[in-house]
Structures are given as structure tokens and as C-alpha cells.
A = this chain, B = another copy of it.
Amino acid sequence: VSKTRPPRITIRDVAREAGVSIATVSRVLQQHESVAAELRERVTAAVGALGFQPDAAAQMMRQTSSKTICCAVRNSSVAEFAAFAHAAERVLRNAGYIMYLSNTEAEPAQEIRLIQTLIGHRVDGLIMARADEESAEVEQHLRQFQGPVVYMDRSPSPRADAVVIDHRSAMRQAVSFLVMLGHRRIALLTGQPHMRPGRERIAGYEQACREAGIAVDPSLILTGTFEPDSAFRNASLLMSKSPRPTALISGGLSLLPGVLGALRAANIEMGRDVSVIAGCDTDLAQLASPPVTAIHWDVRAWGATAAELLLERIRNGDRDTGRQVNLPCELIVRSSCAAPNEAFAYR
């Protein structure tokens, strides 16, 4: 402690200045209900007059934490988000918090309404997958939010806390595996490149192509929303090309049903006619016929880690540096991939 620093103002000083008991000051700082308005005003005035340390006040205020956290995703019924929310809720519940679940429907306007609601409810922290990493308006509202924010697979800035998935290395593994089987025309279905999940997958795909000496063909990278319908349309489009790609990577959480539906509708047999890699490892990937080679990561660790990181931020408050946890992925090889079927591709 520096010697030039003025003596620290304590709650005792505030009580003396306001002419009330220490207990009353404490009750006011904790926003306790049973304090008359007049006393509340005297205490507030004394806090202001003495310059009572905001940190100490904040610490006392923190005792009136609402003990609530919000988890906001675009669609909480997507299996991976549901598993994320379940794992996060368990960690938060065990720490004495209850968790709001909110669907943003991938709309920044919905996120803004939510943030306003959370401020009104004095929510302690927020775990979210932003609909648009670049929205300045959402960023501005988030700055007014009182608690820490942890992002799910987003990196709006290097100072943001996030638990992200290593899609880049996953895509490199997926493409390298297909190249090893002999594929050269490999299609990628994924999200828009202005958002982390699409951006990182495309970067990993392009990097692996370059490493294999394959010129990147932009017509083989189809981006859209992360909805099965979008995947159905894009997979159908790819399968109507001539020549067709010999392999297809379903680079998203909820794209596989659309991809498998499109193949079935066109009477194309996965594995025999075209190789398929799933972007995440669902029941469907495991139990489809043939079972689908898939990118696997620990979805429960994703949710649990995000909740733990948020709790740590709430406890320690240090927000000077962002902390990003990068979850590793592995490729689980199943029988949906084979050597390229060029005869089918040119038919």
C-alpha cells in the first residue's frame, strides 16, 4: 500500500456522516427492503460526500446478486445447444444459480431486447452465441450489461471471454482424410464467413486444400444458414453439378439431417456414391446406414467450461484480458467415406 494514498473510507465513516447505524448503511448498500426512503437518501448522500470506495460498495452490492445467469442461443432445440445448456445449467445449479434460457432466433434485435430484460432482472452473467459478431448495436447494449459475458464459439474481440471449438483444425483433419482416400473435389457446406463457425471452417478447409496442392474451387463452398433446410437445398445443388463433388463435408451443427435427406431424395447412396463427413457427432451420425464419419468434441465440456469460466469472472471480476478456451476436435472414422466414385460423379 502506497504511503501517499489517503486513508481508506470505511462503512463506519459513512454511518457517522449519515447519522445512522452501520447496520443501516449495510442494509441500504444491499438494497434491503426495510429501510425508510429518508434514511436511504441520507446514506446515499453520505456515500457520495465521502467518496466511499465504489469497489467496496460494489462488493456489498454483489451480495444482492440475483443468483441468475442467462444462456442465449439462436435455437435451444438444436441437439448441441441443448446439450450445452444442460451441462451449463448443471454447473450453475451446483453453484447456487438458476439459469434463464433464451432463444435469439439468430436476430440481433431479439438479442438487444434480451439484454435490456437481463439488465432489468439484475442477471449476474450471460453466456451467449451472438447472432452477428459484428453488430455494433448489440456490442453497445452489452456494454451496459452489469455482469461478465462468455461467448459460445464466438470471438467478437480478443478481449472477450469465450469457449470456442477448434473448427479450423477439425476441417484440416477432415479434408486431409478425404485427400488420403483420393478425393480432389471436396464440397463444404457451412455458415457465413463473417461468423466464427463458418469462417474457421472455411479457413481450415482452404488451408488443407493448399497443403494437398488442390486449387480451392469456390463453387464447392456453399454457405447458408445453419438450418437443415438450407443444407438440403445446398446438398441438392451440389449433387446436380457436373461433375459432382466426390465428397461432402457437412460443416455445421444441424446440417446432417438436410444432407442425408437430400441424398435420399436423389437416391444417392452415402459411402458408395459420395463420401460424407458430419460436422458434429450426433445419434443420427452414429446410427445412420452407413454410420457417418464425424467431427467429435466434448459438447458437455463445452457447456460446463463456459459456465465455470463465467462463475470465475463473477467471483474475481478481472476483465482486463479475455480468456479463450479452444476445445479440441477429433475425426471419428466410420463407413460413410470411401475412395472417390468418379464414375458416379460424371454420370
Question: Which A residues are within 8 Å of any B CB, using their own CB?
Answer: 31, 33-37, 40, 66-68, 70-71, 75-79, 81-83, 85-86, 89-90, 93, 98-103, 114, 117-118, 121, 256-257, 260-261, 264, 282-284, 286-289
Select A82's contact among B76, B261, B282, beta carbons within 8 Å: B76
Identical copies in the complex: 2
Can you sample 29 A-B contacts with CB below 8 Å?
A: A34-B40, A35-B36, A66-B121, A67-B121, A68-B100, A70-B98, A75-B86, A76-B82, A77-B85, A77-B86, A78-B82, A82-B82, A85-B101, A89-B101, A89-B102, A89-B103, A98-B100, A98-B102, A98-B117, A98-B121, A99-B101, A99-B102, A100-B100, A100-B101, A101-B101, A257-B283, A261-B286, A264-B287, A284-B287
Assess whether A34 is in contact with B31, with CB atoms less than 8 Å apart: no
Question: How far is the CB of A231 from the nearest CB of chain B, in Å?
Answer: 12
A346 smallest CB distance to B (angstroms): 26
For the complex formed, measure the closest distance between the CB of A69 and the CB atoms of chain B, giving whole angstroms: 10
Bound together, the chains give a CA A305 to CA B257 distance in angstroms of 27
Q: Are A34 and B34 in contact (CB under 8 A)?
A: no
Give the docked Cα–Cα distance between A34 and B37 (Å): 5
Taking the closest CB of chain B, its distance from the CB of A72, in whole angstroms, is 10
Query: Which residue of B has the minimal Cβ distance to A31?
Result: B33
Q: What residues on B are CB-neighbors of A100 within 8 Å?
A: 68, 98-101
List the 3 closest pairs (A to B, CB-CB), nearest first.
A289-B289, A82-B82, A36-B36
A292 to chain B, nearest CB (A): 10
Chain B residues near A103 (CB-CB < 8 A): 86, 89-90, 93
Distance A98 CA – B257 CA, assembled complex (angstroms): 30
Chain B residue contacts of A260, Cβ below 8 A: 287
With a CB–CB cut-off of 8 A, which chain B residues contact A286? 257, 261
A93's partner among B66, B79, B102 (CB-CB below 8 A) is B102
Task: Give CA–CA (A286, B70) in the complex, Å.
Answer: 33
A83 to B77, Cβ gap below 8 A? yes
Tell me the bound Cα distance from A257 to B81 in angstroms.
Answer: 19
Give the complex CA separation of A170 and B106 in angstroms: 36
Q: List B contacts of A40 (CB < 8 A).
A: 34
Bound-state Cα–Cα, A34 to B44, Å? 14
Q: Which residues of chain B are near A81, meaning CB under 8 Å?
A: 82
Nearest-neighbour CB distance to chain B for A118, whole angstroms, equals: 8
CB pair A89 B76 closer than 8 Å: yes
Q: Which residues of B contact A256 (CB under 8 A)?
A: 283
A101 to B303, CA, bound (A): 14
Q: Contact: B99 with A287, CB < 8 Å?
A: no
Closest chain B residue to A88, Cβ basis: B101
Residue of B nearest to A80 (CB): B77
In the docked arrangement, what's the CA distance between A71 and B256, Å?
Answer: 29
Chain B residues with Cβ under 8 A from A76's Cβ?
82, 85-86, 89, 101
Closest to A75 in B: B86
In the assembled complex, which residues on chain B have CB atoms less than 8 Å from the CB atom of A257?
283, 286-287
Taking the closest CB of chain B, its distance from the CB of A18, in whole angstroms, is 16
Contact B68 A77 (CB under 8 A): no
Contact for A283 among B34, B99, B101, B284, CB less than 8 A: B284
